[in-house]
Amino acid sequence: MKISIIDSYMMFLQTLRPDARRALISKLTQSLKSEPKKPKNLFAKSFGAWVGNESADDIVKEIKDSRSFSRQIEEL
């Protein structure tokens, strides 16, 4: 049996208190009255070229050199 997303939401919403459901209805109603906002494409903004003069080898070396290990073996 396949459950639709609406049915899934309804099963969740039935667990809410009546006042919480009324507040949700109010917010949903208000959201329908306003123009939909265009979603910000933050995912696409996370990509881009690296800004810097270092070569890839220099960056790798800097990362490896900045590592610090403090391995302490505890006795049992």
Secondary structure string (H, E, C) spanning the chain:
CCCCHHHHHHHHHCCCCHHHHHHHHHHHHHHHHCCCCCCCCHHHHCCCCCCCCCCHHHHHHHHHHHCCCCCCCCCC
- In a domain? residue 67: no
Question: Looking at the predicted structure, is the pLDDT value of residue 1 above 70?
Answer: no
pLDDT in tens, 19-66: 999 999 999 999 888 887 777 777 777 777 767 888 889 999 999 999
Query: What is the total count of domains within the chain?
Result: 1
CB proximity list for 24: less than 8 A, separation 6 or greater: 13, 16
- In a domain? residue 28: yes
Boundaries of domain holding 31: 1-35
Q: In 10 A of CB 33, how many CB atoms? A: 6
- In a domain? residue 26: yes
Structure tokens at 49: 């070229």
- In a domain? residue 70: no
